[in-house]
Amino acid sequence: MAAMTDHPAYPRFVEIWGELADLEAAEQLLEWDQDTTMPAGGVEGRARVSGTLARVRHERLSSPELAALAEELAKEAPAGSIEAIQAAEAFRSIRQAERVPVALRAALAQTRSRAHAAWEDARKRSDFSLFEPQLAHLVALKREEATALADGGEPYDALLDLYERGATSAGLAPLFTELRRELGRIVHAVADSGAELDTSVLQGDFPVDAQRRLGLEIAEALGFDFACGRLDTSAHPFCITIHSGDVRLTCRWQEDDFLPALFGILHEVGHGLYEQGLPEAWRRTPLGAAVSLGIHESQSRLWENHVGRSRAFLRWLLPHLRQTFPVFVGTRVDRLWPLLHRVQPSLIRTEADETTYNLHVLIRFEIERALFSGDLRVAELPGAWDDLYAEVLGIRPGNAAEGVLQDVHWAMGSFGYFPTYTLGTLAAAQLFAAAERSLPGLEDDLAHGHFAPLLGWLREHVHQHASRYTPAELIERATGKPLSAADFLTYIKQVTHEVYGLRL
């Protein structure tokens, strides 16, 4: 079979797609810079620049030339060939871009920016009413967008699909039902046991510079390539790829607690390793990027939870920790390890433990479904939120700032995004269990700081495929079974058993 790359349409197709990737790279840098570096006075100018770049990219994506090239390739490339998949992926993006009318796109951009400002103010004053009108407007526009994207299907599913190709509300519901039941049982059992973990050993003074040095050392040991990446400071940690050879992580630091930065870095390094492992040959093509947010989150959660919270990893980490913070000289792995697996219902998602975290996500999923089905009005949001927290987690927010206003996602119009956190958590457990099966020496490797075998397994089974398979296909190929909550629940039950002595 002749290589499709010899097809006369292919070079131009790849050239245009490369330009789209380059424009996106510039947008990524504008965003990174705004979050880490830009002086406050640049906000308005930056919004204009970002808006223009997004518009230019959208114009190119919807150009008749690109659609014609993709069509030609789709018709003539052998089914299943890389070129056919690239053409299909291109069509998916083109269709998504075309279904949303220009006027709606502009209204969304403007409303998002207003809603974001209103949300910041509302959260500061803990007053939902300051956010409500903008949010209601944004939800209405998002419903319009979702309906356009769904093309006759479920509007909310079209939003899910933006972040997690192929995800549907109907597919997620059973997963969340199972998690609610099983995790609920665990949370209740721990609460009923009355057990309290002694966390005094975690107290101390942890200078930011020392935390940063330790973080860099860990990131490098895990395999993050700093010749092609950075670690900076921002208000909210994130990982962003500017372009090939430039992947950036950020972190925030607390002087009185080193755990948030430590696990924040493990988390972002997980994202960063995925980005650095994407195949160079497909970069700047429709298959070159990470396949979905859920798969991305599976990489961050895997390193954060299944590696970072393991006894084996702690064994490797402790000498480094002691060298950085002498307060840990007398501390042993068995004293620290249980504290990384506390089960403690709390109000703030980003501070939640690995067990209750998914219940926070579940609450947001329920609310989003109700908002988009019309069962819930924006005005009813705070009440619904507080009731769900009381019902699911047994605690009720004292105010809107620690309740419905805590997350930025809705203010940015990112509905359908939250579920990817849980999909990623489940996938992380399933991938790690599969890696354990094929790497018998894994625990020993982790204890000795040999992270390359695990990274190699992830490169082979996840990273190198970029967007070639759907998330569901990717997980099934890598683990031998469809995504389920089984491995995650096994893991959680095991650690809860060991930490709290509960048989669940």
Tell me which of 98, 226, 332, 387 binds a second copy, using CB under 8 A. Answer: 226
Confirm or reject binding of residue 8 to a second copy (CB under 8 A): no
Tell me which of 39, 64, 152, 501 binds a second copy, using CB under 8 A. Answer: 39
| Neighbouring residues of 211: CB distance < 8 A, sequence distance ≥ 6 | 253, 258, 261, 262, 324
Catalytic residue among 89, 154, 182, 268: 268
- The closest alpha carbon to 355, from 392, 314, 313, 385, belongs to 392
Tell me whether residue 180 or residue 230 sits nearer to a second copy (CB atom).
230
Tell me which of 2, 6, 48, 194 binds a second copy, using CB under 8 A. Answer: 48
Confirm or reject binding of residue 216 to a second copy (CB under 8 A): no
Tell me whether residue 49 or residue 502 sits nearer to a second copy (CB atom).
49
Cβ at position 54, least distance to a second copy in Å: 10
Q: State yes or no: is 268 an active-site residue.
A: yes
- The closest alpha carbon to 47, from 129, 102, 117, 128, belongs to 117
CB 390 within 8 A of CB 396: yes
- The closest alpha carbon to 251, from 275, 284, 229, belongs to 229
Side chain identity at 359, as an amino acid letter? L
Tell me which of 200, 227, 330, 374 binds a second copy, using CB under 8 A. Answer: 227
Q: For residues 108 and 123, what is the distance between their CA atoms, to the nearest angstrom?
A: 21
Sheet containing strand 246-251, edge to edge, reads 229-233, 246-251, 239-243
Place of tokens 């002498």: 326
Tell me whether residue 52 or residue 177 sits nearer to a second copy (CB atom).
52
Confirm or reject binding of residue 463 to a second copy (CB under 8 A): no
Tokens for 455, please give them.
């990274």
> What separation in angstroms does the CA of 255 have from each of 198, 203, 262, 325?
20, 10, 12, 12
Q: Per CB under 8 A, which of residues 368..387 are in contact with a second copy? A: none
Confirm or reject binding of residue 2 to a second copy (CB under 8 A): no
Cβ at position 89, least distance to a second copy in Å: 20
Q: Per CB under 8 A, which of residues 228..287 are in contact with a second copy? A: 228-230, 242-246, 284
CB 414 within 8 A of CB 462: no
Stretch that binds a second copy, among 48-56, 65-73, 88-96, 108-116 (CB under 8 A): 48-56
Tokens for 124, please give them.
């500061």
CB 164 within 8 A of CB 322: no
Active site members: 268
- The contact set with a second copy (CB under 8 A) reads 18-19, 22-23, 25-26, 29-30, 33, 37-46, 48-49, 51-53, 55-56, 225-230, 242-246, 284
